[in-house]
Chain A
Amino acid sequence: MISLTINGKAAEVDADPSTPLLWVLRDHLHLTGTKYGCGMAQCGACTVHLDGQAIRSCVTPVSMASGKQVTTIEGLAEQALGKKVQQAWQEVDVPQCGYCQSGQIMAATALLQQNPKPDDAQITAAMEGNLCRCGTYNRIRAAIHKAAELQGEAK
């Protein structure tokens, strides 16, 4: 059994330690907001936070998450910043099909955590690993600026 802390709650899973965290979240815990897109850290749809850092859960063995804080899209609203990012995403009306957006939001939140007011180049650098086939990129950029603004106002 592997002990995990996911969105602040303890969980025990019976999985091979080499199983990617993504599939433990989805198949074992039915936390399906974290998406499978490529399985090789190419698209970012599976992005979650491990101790606040954005990681690709499709290539992260669940054993590496043991003893650390895992945050998924389902738990993001419990954080003030995460809530602001989700709010910004709604104000800009970013999603189309929506499949990549959990990963986009998790990556954006991790960026804003480290850099409360990123410029365009910093946004590009941080978000380059997240694909969106609907091409919502310009709105993603706008929403990150919006979230920075909302968070700035809140302080």
Chain B
Amino acid sequence: MKTVAEHNPNRRNFLKGSAALVGGLVIGFYLPIKGGRAFAADAAPAQVFPPNAFIRIAPDDTITVVVNKSEMGQGVYTSLPMLIAEELEADWSRIRVESAPVGAVYNHTGFGMQITGGSSSVSSSWEQLRRVGASARVLLVRAAAQEWGVPESACRAENGQVIHAASGKSLSYGKLADAAGKLPLPENVALKDPKDFKLIGQPVKRIDTPEKVNGSAQFGLDVYIPGMLMVLIARSPVFGGKVKSFNADEARKVPGVEGVYQVPTGIAVAANGFWPAKTARELLKIEWDEGAGAALSTPKMRADYLEMAKKPGAVARKDGDPAGALKQVHKSVSAEYEVPYLAHAMMEPLNVVVDLKPDHCGIWTGTQSQTMDHASAAKVAGLKPEQVEIHTTYLGGGFGRRANPMSDFVIEAVQTAKVIGKPIKVVWTREDDMRGGYYRPMWADRIEAGIGKDGRPVAWQHTIVGQSIVAGTPFENFMTKDGIDQTSVEGAATLPYAIPNLQVDLHSPKNPVPVQWWRSVGHSHTAFVVETMVDELAHMAAQDPVQYRLALLEKAPRHAGVLKLAAEKAGWGRKLPAGHAFGVAVHESFHSYVAEVAEISLEDGKIRVHKVTCAVDCGMVVNPDGVRQQVESAVIYGLSAALQGAITLENGRVVQSNFHDYTALRLSRVPQVEVHIVQSDAPPTGIGEPGTPPIAPAVANAVFALTGKRLRRMPFDAETLA
């Protein structure tokens, strides 16, 4: 029976059809993107979805903005249309959003491919989309002026209408769109002076909220296409392992199971529903050739990393003579730090729908990385790029996992579809997702630092040990400099404090555990290490941690600005309730500056964070409530990891499997998060990630202030605190 209509998620066909339905879609344009680094060889617009790249205006005045970034919670379906609407003088209530298909026109202006990451959606679209909006406005005004036979200068655009004040005439954009769409694109349109912004800078409610509160928002897992089988794959319990032999006799007997297949990543069970597929998968008998990965265990890896950290690695930054200076300092300290592998643990586990036909491949998934997934899918399917379509659904969280440089989940799904020969949905169970690798790397750091008689740091020697997330990926070439993966040392080699003798170096050991970017990437560990060490130096110098930092940030005014603001708003220095303490940290990432003051106490030997006061400088703000949302989110995400997160290995097997043993913060442990935004006229910078790095060091520094114990290992819950 079917009480609900079969979903027909073939949006592309719907779009093509909609032109005919609504009668003359309009404002067709394709604005070439300048200044993009060509990542893919073809920058030709041949694959561009014709004819409308970013805006369609319908006769009913509905404006559809085609968004080329994936909505994973960070609010791009609101902030990016705001950029267009501002310059277009659109009626915000008529804005609709649609996810972009794959096409060169939708490439990220900085990365030269279609991708969502690096906290760069707003900054990379800032000029581009305002220009799109302004161009459309010029055409609409021109069309109205021609219609009325009046000069363009006598007309103005306002709230979705063109108005001729002298005659009192007006026409809505919907009525003008057809004529405007026939005009040639204007060149060099002027953009507004920011002081004239009406929408940008105002708190705007998210466009996607209504469908996210009534259950209608479609995530990848919600896509059902006719004839589709649900597929679960039994993958090697050890990274790099291969199937030696298998027996599926019992699995095949489960009612609803349509077949069991060997696929490149393991054994796939296809069934008419998730439950029979899962039931059958548990009955598979598989013998694995585990390979070298079976030797991996966390305690041994930690010991190896700490040993490596004792010797300098490849030098990422060297100022002065740190080794010499360390011999002459007034006081010195050396410390080792460790952080574990972390899973992204998005609420929606990975999944991909594939409809593979001899001459076409349709893919529905929540991906952050369309261009690479598209190219990989075409290659695996043996099809031409134009025969492959990716439909980007909503993403039930991303945090980096859905921008896999190896396109792991998409390639596997297409490979599996080839074997099975029917439309499929590959579903990763929570356990599959958590044990599937592509973790934030485990890191060990060692810092030796010393201060002079005045308390100021004189020498700083920082050695970092951890896997490169770009080694062996298509990103290796442009994210590695002089043999150093820049993401491994970011936030450490970019230390903003005035320290005359400083070295940061790196060891990049290799092992079979797949690693990847995780919200804030390298900063997720470097901020913890450097900001707790700076705090340690402040205490060694018997100085206030805020004042100590400020004295070292004279040439870093934006760091200093957020630090002062957070300290002021938190009431730094005021008397706190008994058993409470403050800790502070400041860090720049993705060109934005964030300071956080954490107020903590201990409850039953565990850290209780009461409140986090944040100050952020991310340049000009498009949607202040969106910025607040992202900082609130980034703090909680970072705090989950700081207090509780760890993926560990035993004999090559990931120990954790689900939310009972890879725990995330729940409501009872969530602090109040207060966000203060620095007013700025600098261009917008990142906001999805920069709130994450400072939280772990702010909390660790608060613990020191309260107990005198230095936390140098995450997660903090593993520490004994009195």
* Chain A interface residues toward B at CB < 8 A: 6, 9, 11-16, 19-20, 23, 26-40, 42-43, 45, 72-74, 76-77, 86, 89-90, 93-102, 105, 123-124, 127-141
Contact = CB atoms under 8 A, between A and B. Distances in A.
Contacts of B3: 6, 9, 11, 29
A135 B666 contact: no
B214 A33 contact: yes
B667 A35 contact: no
B417 to A, nearest CB: 19
Nearest to B74: A96
Given A33-B214, A90-B213, A137-B636, 17 more contacts: A6-B3, A16-B276, A28-B273, A29-B2, A31-B4, A32-B221, A39-B658, A40-B659, A74-B215, A95-B209, A96-B629, A99-B394, A101-B212, A130-B667, A132-B347, A135-B633, A135-B637
- Interface residues of B, dominant DSSP: loop
B713 to A, nearest CB: 23
Interface stretch (B26-34, B120-128, B445-453, B668-676): B668-676
A23 B396 contact: no
B275 A134 contact: no
B722 interface: no
Contact of A138 (B5, B72, B673): B673
Given A27-B274, A99-B348, A135 B632 contact: yes
Contact of A128 (B2, B634, B640, B668): B668
A30 B4 contact: yes
Contacts of B580: none
A35 B396 contact: yes
Find the residue from B2, B73, B256, B658 having the highest chain A CB count within 10 A: B73
Contacts of A32: 7, 215, 218-219, 221-222, 224
A73 B215 contact: yes
Nearest to A137: B670
Interface residues of B, number: 72
Interface string B220-263: 01101000001000000000000000000000000110000000
A124 B213 contact: no
Given A86-B214, A97-B73, A133 B664 contact: yes
B213 A133 contact: no
Given A135-B635, A138-B670, A97 B221 contact: no
Find the residue from A34, A40, A127 having the highest chain B CB count within 10 A: A40
Contacts of B96: none
B583 interface: no
Interface string B627-661: 00100111111001000000000000000001110
A99 B214 contact: no
A35 B666 contact: no
B559 to A, nearest CB: 25
A33 B347 contact: no
Contacts of B219: 32, 35, 99
B346 A97 contact: yes
Contacts of A102: 215
Contacts of B632: 135-136, 138-139
A133 B666 contact: no
B629 A93 contact: yes
Contacts of A23: 273-275
A96 B633 contact: yes
B667 A124 contact: yes
Contacts of B255: 16
A97 B667 contact: no
Contacts of B625: 93
Contacts of A86: 213-214
Nearest to B255: A16
A127 B212 contact: no
A20 B205 contact: no
Nearest to A90: B209
B354 to A, nearest CB: 17
Contacts of B206: 93, 95
Q: What are the nearest 8 A-B pairs in CB distance?
A: A33-B215, A135-B636, A99-B396, A97-B73, A98-B212, A96-B73, A73-B215, A32-B222
Contacts of B329: none
Contacts of A28: 1, 273
Contacts of A96: 73-75, 629, 633
Nearest to A38: B430
Nearest to A87: B213
Contacts of A139: 629, 632
B214 A97 contact: no
A9 B4 CA distance: 11
Interface in B471-498: none
A28 B218 CA distance: 17
Nearest to A100: B347
Contacts of B1: 11-14, 28
B530 interface: no
Contact of A36 (B71, B214, B349): B349
Given A37-B430, A99-B397, A137-B667, A29 B4 contact: yes
Contacts of B636: 134-135, 137
Contacts of A45: 347
Given A99-B397, A124-B667, A133-B347, A93 B274 contact: no
A146 B501 CA distance: 55
B214 A77 contact: yes
22 contacts: A27-B275, A32-B219, A37-B659, A39-B658, A40-B430, A42-B660, A45-B347, A73-B214, A77-B214, A90-B213, A93-B206, A95-B73, A95-B206, A95-B212, A99-B396, A101-B213, A127-B667, A133-B664, A134-B347, A135-B670, A137-B666, A140-B667
Nearest to A4: B3
Interface string B72-113: 111100000000000000000000000000000000000000
B668 A99 contact: no
Find the residue from A26, A77, A98, A129 having the highest chain B CB count within 10 A: A98
A73 B218 CA distance: 13
Nearest to A33: B215
A141 B671 CA distance: 12
Nearest to A72: B215
B661 to A, nearest CB: 10
A131 to B, nearest CB: 6
A39 B673 CA distance: 31
Nearest to A126: B667
Given A89-B209, A97-B397, A128-B667, A134 B73 contact: yes
B667 A38 contact: no
A39 B658 CA distance: 9
A31 B219 CA distance: 13
A96 B212 CA distance: 9
B429 interface: yes
